[in-house]
A and B are shown apart, each in its own frame.
Chain A
Amino acid sequence: MSDGNKDGPANINRSSAKDSGTVLHDIAASSQSGTPPAPVQTTSGRPASYALPDANLSLALLENSDVGIIAIRRDGTICFWNSWMEQTAGFKAADVFGKTLNDVFGTALPNRLHTAIDDCLSLGMPAMISPSLNKSVLPLRPQSQFAQKFPQMQQSIRIQPVSLSDEDVICAITVRDVTLAVQRDQLLRRQAAELAELVTKTRRSEDRTRAILQNTIDAILVASEDGNLEPLNARAQELCGPQGDPEIKNIIQFLLPDCGNNPPPKPPSDRLLTDLGTGVIEILACPANGHNIPLEVAISHFTAYGRYHYIITLRDISQRKRHELEIQNTMQELENSNAELEQFAYAASHDLQEPLRMVSSYTQLLARRYRGQLDDTADEFIHYAVDGTQRMQRMIDDLLTLSRVGRHGKPFQPVPLTGLFDAIEANLKRAEAAPAGNVIRQPGLPVVTGDPSQLLQLFQNLVSNGLKYSDPTHAEVHISAREFDSFWRISVSDNGIGIDPQYHASIFEIFKRLHGYGDYAGTGIGLALCKKIVERHGGNIHVESALGEGSTFHVDLPKEHNVL
């Protein structure tokens, strides 16, 4: 379309028209009547072999041309109208000859067309009328496939003067259908717009991602396959920069799962805060410009463009470390004070035994020697003194046992509960505390893990408690076990007097008794001891009971003992 006709067809046409001595209108008329027009002679400047084709052929070519051709005379009337025009405009040539374009199409034709035709006829100016600057100059029908989107054909129009003689000029109008090109242009533009929008969106999203990355508190770095480290955000740049830690890159490279052929040397041990292989990596960064910072290192990976990359995230855990230290200190203090307490309990109970034994021995001696020699009241007093010293003796024994749970624990080992309860029953029988057959065991009790002698003490306490607080003639204690995901629950139930729910928590406290000394024997230390043993095993003990309904003590013992 950029090819103008620089020669200008005017010259050729001028000579041919002059030679033929006729106007196109007449040619058209004569062709319609079947009379051939006068033969056209060769232009003077051309070799004979380029003789112009005869007028019939020219006319046929123009008629059947794939462009619209209109010729307009000086007076504005149409004198040529090819078949392309007939089809697209819907007017037969015979019907438009002698009429003006306005007559044919109505007066809606744009000024641009009229001005161009006027300038062509009066001044010899050619013109081109483009489809973009002018919307559908002539009301022509589009091809059917465009009809839906384009009510009118999109046209590219050329207007050229054709001189018939020195005085006479006609205006030749060529119309090309460019609807397809316009459609393509619109499509291209729409796609370009979509693309531009996509680019904008992507850019916006990228900016956002970058801002998020930049403003993340953690330092983030990426390492390519060759171990080359690139800080991705401000914090990472800070740590790796001139004010940062000169060693940090080496440490990170050392931590990467595969860091090329020459692995970096192991960093100094004070820079690695955790043992390798424990799953948590903590390192110590020593920036040039400030305090050391403990960092937690997380390494993940991704594959991009066929290459493997690691993302290294460094999180400042100073705060967490401080908290951990505080907790550790508190724990230590707690442990110390517990130990002191146990030590005190042991020392107290142990040292109390000596004078107590003396009081006990002498009161018993008094009782033996002087029973019946003094008056009745004296006998009664001596009885109370003996009873008191005996109870005190038991309490001190129990206190000693309790204090030993923490201090004299044995290593844990598998303990088959069947054997354990065999031993308990045997003990009770020896003490004549349990008639045969009143301890009923669920078959197939499991093997648990723990300190065998403490576990024996625990369950023996529970069983004898159960028997103690029951009607001796009907007393029954049931032992059962139930498996949970992480622990075994061993349950000891009795059909005894039961415990009011308001006391369910306090019964495990030391020296807590719910009954007078006269009703049930005991020091009030038994359940406290049970609780202490269970806790040493990392487990739990609780009771389910109601008054008169019997009681069930549940002991949960963990299957695994990780942290002991």
Chain B
Amino acid sequence: MIDLSDLERDTITELINIGVGRAAASLSEMVDQSVELTVPSISFVQRFSDANLIAAPGEVVSAVTQSFNGPFNGDALLVFPEKRSLELVRRLLQVDVPLDSLGDLEQEALMEVGNIILNACLGSISNILGHPINCSMPIFRKCETRNLMPDACPPGTSETETTAPFLLILHVQFMLRENDIDGYVLFVMDLDSIQTLKRMVNRYLENALG
């Protein structure tokens, strides 16, 4: 299990908050309405099945995924229950006619929302740490929560710590007009990557604080 000190954890949280703030500003400007984005909670878990969001494994979710590789590798996901994703897109686009599922253009809009938020989070980390992060184009998936991030190893088999994915789970909350829409951002990294991130955070802190 990875150990993060309070300060390391706080630093990553703050970097992500900065990113999310930028993303909200960017979205507000684009859709010409106030979009507030907050991160009520951030948790680090070793296994997807430990996460709160697996509470409803059969729930259908919309996910926008971007893979990144740079100094550290992994996947970044923005996840909404499908209904919430529909609601989010419709509030952003300010359309009142509900269709039963995301239309092509709505899906593309959701991908862009994911792209903006994930880029902002990764970009904020990358910017502070002074290292570019190579990132893939976002892809869109609709699936049940349990299939979102299958645990690397089937239950019962022992897994080595190095292969087990490390999850950074952010609960994100959109405040649009009167409604709140809740979703999650997941960063899925292997142990090597999280250790690289930890090292880079510490190096940055040392430099910054003298």
Hey, which bits of chain A sit against chain B, CB under 8 A?
A: 1-8, 10, 110-112, 115, 119, 122-134, 156, 158, 160-161, 178, 181-182, 185, 188-189, 192-193, 196
Residue of A nearest to B119 (CB): A125
Q: A7-B136, A130-B112, A181-B105 are in contact. Are A123 and B26 (CB under 8 A)?
A: no
Q: Decide: A124 near B105, CB < 8 A? Known: A3-B139, A4-B139, A111-B29.
A: no
User: How many A-B Cβ pairs are below 8 Å?
Assistant: 125
Q: Bound state CA distance, A454 and B108, in angstroms?
A: 102
CB of A130 within 8 A of CB of B111, answer yes
- Asked if B108 and A124 sit within 8 Å, CB to CB, the answer is no
B188 to chain A, nearest CB (A): 14
**Given the complex, which residues of A lie within 8 Å of B137, measured CB to CB?**
4-6, 8, 126, 128, 158, 160
The residues of A that contact B132 with a CB separation of less than 8 Å are 122-124
Residues of A within 8 A of B103 (CB): 185, 188
Bound form: Cα–Cα A37–B138 in Å: 33
A112-B26 CB under 8 A given contacts A1-B108, A133-B113: yes
- Majority SS at the chain A contact face: mixed
Name 10 interchain pairs, CB-CB below 8 A, sorted by A: A6-B139, A119-B119, A123-B122, A125-B122, A127-B116, A130-B112, A161-B134, A181-B104, A192-B98, A193-B96
Given contacts A123-B123, A133-B30, A133-B92, contact A128 B136 (CB under 8 A): no
Pick from B29, B112, B135, B141: contact of A129, CB below 8 A.
B112
Given contacts A161-B134, A185-B103, A189-B97, contact A132 B67 (CB under 8 A): no
> Nearest Cβ distance between residue B133 and chain A, in whole angstroms?
6
Nearest first, the 8 closest Cβ-Cβ pairs linking A and B are: A4-B139, A4-B137, A124-B132, A2-B140, A132-B109, A130-B112, A130-B108, A125-B119
Contact of B30 among A6, A10, A110, A119 (CB under 8 A): A110
**What is the interface residue range for chain B against chain A?**
35 or more
Identify the closest chain A residue to B124 (Cβ): A123
**Whose C-beta in chain B lies nearest to the C-beta of A111?**
B29
User: Do A133 and B119 have beta carbons less than 8 Å apart?
Assistant: no
Check: B115 CB closer than 8 A to any chain A CB.
yes
Are A192 and B97 touching (Cβ within 8 A)? yes
Cβ 8 A contact of A8, one of B26, B99, B134: B134
Asked if B29 and A124 sit within 8 Å, CB to CB, the answer is: no
A4 neighbours in B (Cβ, 8 Å)? 65-66, 111, 136-140
**Complex-state Cα separation, A115 to B124, whole angstroms:** 13
A193 to B97, CA, bound (A): 6
Taking a contact as CB atoms under 8 Å apart, the answer to whether B127 and A123 are in contact is yes
User: Looking across the interface, which residue of chain B has its beta carbon closest to that of A186?
Assistant: B105
CA distance A185 to B103 in the complex (A): 8
Q: How far is the CB of B18 from chain A (nearest CB, A)?
A: 14
